A = this chain, B = another copy of it.
């Protein structure tokens, strides 16, 4: 009876294993492992043979098997509890993510991204819990630390490595780092007072966000230092147009916003009142998103290097995971990108 010749090697299209590489290089699997992990005890020529064999077979150690033996998944988790609507207008996240990714990739780490609805705190905690108990990640990067953050006790109890990207309101059980983004507010105030403005308003996003708080405080300080008025603040919490109206009711000559999106919305409100920017009101945005450069009038905006921030945060997390000291992070000072939306206040012009 005829039967097809079974080619024992070519027929099976399974992934090569360390044993295949070992066989091809004429060594034991253990030695292949040594060679791939830069352990001593492998002679130069043998190491070479092993690496060649691995390359030929396109072999790389299986992440799962490795995770099992080393109790390391080479993965960090990032759970974002924001809706798509919020994320899509937030240039922070994309830039932050890109910094994180670059750093992780370099260390051969992967990023597990999980998006949960902003409103659902239980779902958020559940996401962390699942990732922890299934041992899917080596650590977490936390953004948007909150007052009495429920994630802190959960993660602390699980004894999982964590780094907070942001400044926690109270003492936190994890290392954290921050960008000093709020220094941008001082720049903005200085720019405006330099132009002659005295009535400078503040339009913030959700009060609950730590970064909004920080920027607000900085604005108050800056205004106080200049001996200028102090009650021209409003927050889109959550009603954006109401907040815009409230700010305008105080008849400021300039307004600093905590995002470009808010600034654009404010400009719209100004237009609706039959006024124009910057002739009647100077407006400054935050984040210097592409939006700022493209809108009309082009928006003066505060720029913070969030990519570097993401890189630093993930580098710190990797250090914590390794039980090492986190590398120091000296955030660059924010910069002010001056564009058409700011000019001298109307009174000065009228003189």
User: Most B CB atoms within 10 A — which of A91, A110, A116, A159?
Assistant: A110
Contact of A85 among B63, B102, B290 (CB under 8 A): B290
User: Using Cβ atoms and an 8 Å threshold, which residues of chain B touch A58?
Assistant: 133
- In the complex, the answer to whether B88 meets A115 with C-beta atoms within 8 Å is no
A89-116: contact bitstring with B at CB < 8 Å (1 yes, 0 no)? 1010011011001100100101111111
Q: Any chain B CB within 8 A of the CB of A65?
A: yes
- In the complex, the answer to whether A134 meets B264 with C-beta atoms within 8 Å is no
Q: Any chain B CB within 8 A of the CB of A268?
A: yes
Interface size bracket, A side: 35 or more
CB interface residues, A 55-98, toward B, < 8 Å: 58-65, 67-68, 73, 75, 83-85, 87-89, 91, 94-95, 97-98
Stretch from A169-177, A192-200, A211-219, A293-301 contacting the other chain? A293-301
User: Using Cβ atoms and an 8 Å threshold, which residues of chain B touch A15?
Assistant: 135
What is the total number of copies of this protein in its complex? 2
Q: Any chain B CB within 8 A of the CB of A3?
A: no
- For A14, give the chain B residue with the smallest CB separation: B71
CB interface residues, A 102-138, toward B, < 8 Å: 102, 105, 108, 110-116, 127, 130-131, 133-136
- In the complex, the answer to whether B101 meets A94 with C-beta atoms within 8 Å is no
Q: Decide: A289 near B111, CB < 8 A? Known: A130-B60, A268-B298.
A: no
- In the complex, the answer to whether B112 meets A110 with C-beta atoms within 8 Å is yes
- In the complex, the answer to whether B97 meets A115 with C-beta atoms within 8 Å is yes
A62 CA to B58 CA in the complex, in Å? 27
A317 to chain B, nearest CB (A): 16
Q: Any chain B CB within 8 A of the CB of A291?
A: yes
- In the complex, the answer to whether B114 meets A264 with C-beta atoms within 8 Å is no
User: Most B CB atoms within 10 A — which of A267, A268, A291?
Assistant: A291
User: Using Cβ atoms and an 8 Å threshold, which residues of chain B touch A136?
Assistant: 63, 110
Contact of A294 among B62, B94, B264, B307 (CB under 8 A): B264
